[in-house]
Amino acid sequence: MKIVLASGVILLAAACSPAPASETAAPAAAPSMEPAPAPMAPPEIAIQTNLIGRWGVTMDACAPANASKDGVIEITLSTVAMGLDACTISSTTPEGAGTMMVLQCKSGEGGEDYERNFSVVSSTPETMTWVKEGGEGEPYVRCP
């Protein structure tokens, strides 16, 4: 099979012998000479590597017995899990010593979609402060 891109449309052509002239359609109109629009660049996401990991408001929150993951945040290069809620990082912005993140989230309990903005700052390799909307900071410790 051969794939051809013409005027922003993908054409698939099977690798077989051409059909007889009686079975072919009328020729297509000439393609537009306007260039195809440039593809949108994905958003730049930059997470400080010292923020990647699993964090708890206390060491007890980090325990395997905490099935609801209450008080636990897990940060990867492209996602943030807060308790049972799963989020995709849509953008990041450096902010002082930390990072401001915009998340697109889905509630783990009701399945509702929502957007969340927050900042995180890593004070040491083992501590992080989650700065909630409104500026209130909440300390977290790195889970083992």
- Encode the chain (144 residues) as per-residue pLDDT tens digits: 444 333 333 333 333 444 445 555 555 555 556 666 666 555 566 777 888 999 999 999 999 999 889 999 999 999 999 999 999 999 999 888 888 899 999 998 777 899 988 898 887 889 999 887 777 889 999 999
Alpha-carbon span 130 to 1, nearest angstrom: 52
Query: What pLDDT does 131 receive?
Result: 87
**Among candidate residues 83, 84, 90, 77, the one with its CA nearest the CA of residue 118:** 90
Alpha-carbon span 90 to 121, nearest angstrom: 18
Q: What share of the chain is helix, strand, coil (3-state, %, to 5)?
A: 5, 45, 50
Alpha-carbon span 101 to 135, nearest angstrom: 14
Query: What pLDDT does 46 receive?
Result: 72
Query: What pLDDT does 36 receive?
Result: 63
Q: Mind listing the domains of the chain with CATH numbers? A: 49-142 (2.40.128)
Residue type, 25: A
For the chain, the straight-line distance linking the first and the last C-alpha, in angstroms and rounded, comes to 52
Query: What pLDDT does 16 receive?
Result: 40
- Is residue 121 within 8 Å of residue 96, measured between CB atoms? yes
Alpha-carbon span 131 to 125, nearest angstrom: 17
Say which residue the tokens 């010593």 belong to. Answer: 97
